[in-house]
Copies of this chain bind each other. A is one copy, B any other.
Amino acid sequence: MAKFIRERDGKENDESYSTHNDIFLSDGASPAVQGTLKLLIRQNTDGIMIPIPQYPLYSASIPLFGGVSVPYYLDEDENWGLETKELKKSVEEARKNGIDPRALVVINPGNPTGACLTVDNMKEIIKFCVNEGLVLLADEVYQENVYIKDKNPFNSFKKVLYKMDPEYHKSLELFSFHSISKGFIGECGKRGGYAEATNIDLSALEEFYKLFSINLCPNSLGQIMIDIMVNPPKPGEESYELYIKERDEIYSSLKRRAIKAVKVFNSLPGIKCNPADGAMYLFPNIKLPKKLIAEANEMGRAPDQLYCIKLLDAKGICVVPGSGFGQKKGEYHFRTTFLPKESEFDKVLADFADFHTTLMKKYGYKEDDD
């Protein structure tokens, strides 16, 4: 795995090489993330900065370990961009409220947003962490799921760190997470992942090691799977060509599906959807009719949850309400994957479009409602 990271990030920075001392195998990225949260949270005034919208693992685990979530908002109008101005505002507000922010979670490519950060943006984020004394938790599990590689290929935070002035190389404390659950393998049921630690104090790493050792026996098959993931067939090997063909087919199909879904969503009344530059998700914004919102409120349900249940009932299509990921007050979203088979994808989108237009008509949605 150390070799995989080295080859991914380029070989120019000898000082940055990880060894087996810096890499912690885990049963998927989730337990690795939870281990770092456990490590960082000392008391109930310790804060962890998380994006809104975010992957619910974070909002669920932080209070479990006795800490506080410190939200920062991604900018939907700027393709779910991450503004350091917003980070600054969020960290200052937390401190004003007696919270001690300890770490910043960045999910890149984004879940549920699908957004991919630029190198310049990542440099700003690194500077922000160093200046504010925050550990950076880089959730990079979608690193292989980038559909705009020509424009903006994936860069790990570690790679970007070592492209910066040497003064930063030893000052950013970084954990990076990866997993066999995503990419084109998508073996979430096999549970394999890792955390890579960069510039983490040795005494903290010792505690981390102890934490990982409590469950005495690892998930051996997940470890084998991650070995397979980081050691794919090489040029000249028998299965190389088939491997590349299958891999590229899966990615190009995912890209086609992402583009198609965005186009359909944006053609429907009251829906606005950013493109998916990466990951496996879209997080469209839906303007819900006032009558539907009132109905949901009466039932004591989140309006976007009611929308999702109606979709499930009507068409058997399961999407997740935006309220589970976090969103600005008064806004509604749902998260959908673009994982249904390509042969069924047109039907899924047509069914969705039929459900949505029928519902909007039934509840008397007008553009003016915006």
Contacts and interface: CB of A to CB of B under 8 A. Distances in A.
B60 A221 contact: no
A220 B188 CA distance: 9
B221 A189 contact: yes
Contacts of A218: 189
Nearest to A213: B60
A214 B38 CA distance: 15
Contacts of A183: none
A171 interface: no
B219 A219 contact: yes
Copies in the complex: 2
A310 interface: no
Interface string A10-46: 0000000000000000011011000000100000000
A339 interface: no
A27 B221 contact: no
A181 B215 CA distance: 12
A242 interface: no
Which 4 pairs of residues, A with B, have the shortest CB-CB distance? A189-B220, A188-B217, A30-B215, A191-B219
12 contacts: A27-B27, A27-B191, A56-B214, A56-B216, A60-B214, A66-B66, A189-B217, A189-B219, A189-B221, A190-B220, A190-B221, A191-B219
Interface of A: 27-28, 30-31, 38, 56-57, 60-61, 64, 66, 181, 188-191, 211, 214-222
Given A31-B215, A57-B216, A191-B219, 19 more contacts: A27-B219, A28-B215, A28-B217, A30-B215, A30-B216, A30-B217, A56-B214, A57-B214, A57-B215, A60-B214, A64-B211, A188-B217, A189-B217, A189-B219, A189-B220, A189-B221, A190-B219, A191-B217, A221-B221
